[in-house]
Structure 1
């Protein structure tokens, strides 16, 4: 290089964009997504959950599914979030209580097991909390400061979003509308009686239809029958929607929350649920006088996984550096 030649520019390395993984470990399927920093889904996969084989098999299945996505991605995930069925201890990263659908799931150390395998931070949350995080981040209630999220699936779950943040309560059970009593006297899977879950869960919709007709049908099959005008199926979904509305009114009365998002497999029959919900709300408006907004999930089956990725994004951000006091001018 001569003196007259300019020095060649040294290329600067462009940092790889951050990617976050979200995992939804459900009783039937496990869904894994890779999301951008803006929570746009870049890739995803869904596999059966080996719930009967125990916690170790369930987590191994989730890790294998994540491995498939990482193998075809140019970037490894910066952090991983997990939404898991059951009551969880998010800080300790383990499942506390699980339904009888799962074997050896209660007590399982989810985050420690996954962090040892992946070498990146892993954050655990209840699946309904993760559902609401997803809907509040990029879904049907994005930008709303106060929301109750409900999932109508095998069971009925609930979660609260207050002042723009998830509110878990002192014992991690805030918003659990599925086990509010006062909905009749039917036995609930939790051992109680007359809970919302006895009318509005997928399992209960099938049971209530069987009581009326003697026929064993899934909630999806009952919805199809209702679509054909079956009066028993219409009555079962009508009772479910009315019960959901009552839980909404209880929440509105206690917390002054006026926005509600509903997801889970049963909510796919929104055309059957919405009319009785709206009719019940119109018949008994909240004392605040403010209208209640009830919307179905926008993210659908991906809500839990996206919400889990959202938590991983938030939790893995570095803490802000302490502000250095400005030096006083010398006299």
Structure 2
């Protein structure tokens, strides 16, 4: 049996999947990310999880795709810039370490790019040719799928919808002010209500707490405005939304739909907003899809 592995290295958890060439998941394993212990330890934890999968499901490994948070250089397989949650990760040669350990080709991508690739390949936006991917987590990430392929832009920053300004005046983690992330991220939702996490705010909102409901109303309305900006600039009318905050989709969906109905795109075509389908596997499956495409394997994308 032939297989391709996908690895999602997040700040808290590393998710590893073993896939068929058709991107059906054979097995999966999640482990804690040793984010403060450096790149060698982080990659070691991911490789240990992958070896466990290969022991459980014997297969001939064709290659490995890795999705990682932060700014990455996909060509050289290195991490460029990461948040202060990581230590010894910026500058780390990810693909070199994986190839040396496993003896198969490895490919690195930004985690949000991988998320979108996964959802287009096997998820909510399967078969889509023009799609915006948005992840609402601790921050807000974005990626673009245009004309049937991922669009990075000339500087690798295309699709960074989380850092579009015009959403108030609160300071953003990037140093700017009033970005979408200051309203729609998990950090922003929690801060607005004096809570530790957005999950706590969601629980309060489900109980009818007015401040919690207002936080999700503001987040959903801001997300809709960002989607309308994207539709106006690029004529992209399909968006798939994932991330931890999006797990509270019943709270986000009503203000998103309401705001979109009040101001439809100038094209006259309705916006299709889809909750992500692949859950915690999305980034890893997308990373595996990238590896398969680079290797010339016949895959869904």
TM range (shorter): over 0.9
> Within the alignment, does 1:256 sit opposite 2:235 as a pair?
yes
Larger Rg: 1
In structure 2, what is the Cα distance between the partners aligned to 1:165 and 1:173? Answer: 15
The aligned residue for residue 112 of structure 2 is 128
Deviation at 1:144, TM superposition (A): 1.1
The aligned residue for residue 56 of structure 1 is 40
In structure 2, what is the Cα distance between the partners aligned to 1:71 and 1:262? Answer: 34
Q: CA RMSD in A?
A: 1.1
In structure 1, what is the Cα distance between the partners aligned to 2:22 and 2:140? Answer: 29
| Candidates 185, 197, 209, aligned match of 1:218 | 197
TM-score scaled by structure 2? 0.97
Deviation at 1:217, TM superposition (A): 3.0
> Map of 1:51-90 to 2, 5 A cutoff?
51-90=35-74
| Candidates 26, 29, 46, aligned match of 1:45 | 29
> Map of 1:135-174 to 2, 5 A cutoff?
135-174=119-158
Extract structure 1 runs of 4+ deviating beyond 6 A. Answer: none
- The number of equivalent residue pairs is 298
| Candidates 247, 259, 268, aligned match of 1:268 | 247
> Within the alignment, does 1:187 sit opposite 2:171 as a pair?
yes
In structure 2, what is the Cα distance between the partners aligned to 1:77 and 1:208? Answer: 47
In structure 2, what is the Cα distance between the partners aligned to 1:42 and 1:188? Answer: 40
In structure 2, what is the Cα distance between the partners aligned to 1:318 and 1:63? Answer: 22
Deviation at 1:243, TM superposition (A): 0.6
Deviation at 1:318, TM superposition (A): 7.4
| Candidates 271, 274, 287, aligned match of 1:292 | 271
Structure 2 unaligned spans of 5+: none
Deviation at 1:301, TM superposition (A): 1.1
> Within the alignment, does 1:94 sit opposite 2:78 as a pair?
yes
- CA pair 119-51 structure 1, distance change in 2 beyond 3 A: same
> Within the alignment, does 1:243 sit opposite 2:243 as a pair?
no
Which digits, 9 at most, give the CA deviation of each residue in 1:36-60, with x for residues without a partner? 0110000000001011112221111
In structure 2, what is the Cα distance between the partners aligned to 1:190 and 1:165? Answer: 27
Helix, strand or coil at the partner of 2:222: helix
> Within the alignment, does 1:30 sit opposite 2:14 as a pair?
yes
> Map of 1:103-114 to 2, 5 A cutoff?
103-114=87-98
Deviation at 1:76, TM superposition (A): 3.0
> Within the alignment, does 1:176 sit opposite 2:160 as a pair?
yes
Q: Would you say the 8 A contact 2:21–2:297 is kept in 1?
A: no
Which digits, 9 at most, give the CA deviation of each residue in 1:58-108, with x for residues without a partner? 111111111111112221311000000001000010111101111111111
Helix, strand or coil at the partner of 2:61: coil
Helix, strand or coil at the partner of 1:45: strand
In structure 2, what is the Cα distance between the partners aligned to 1:53 and 1:231? Answer: 41
In structure 2, what is the Cα distance between the partners aligned to 1:55 and 1:239? Answer: 37
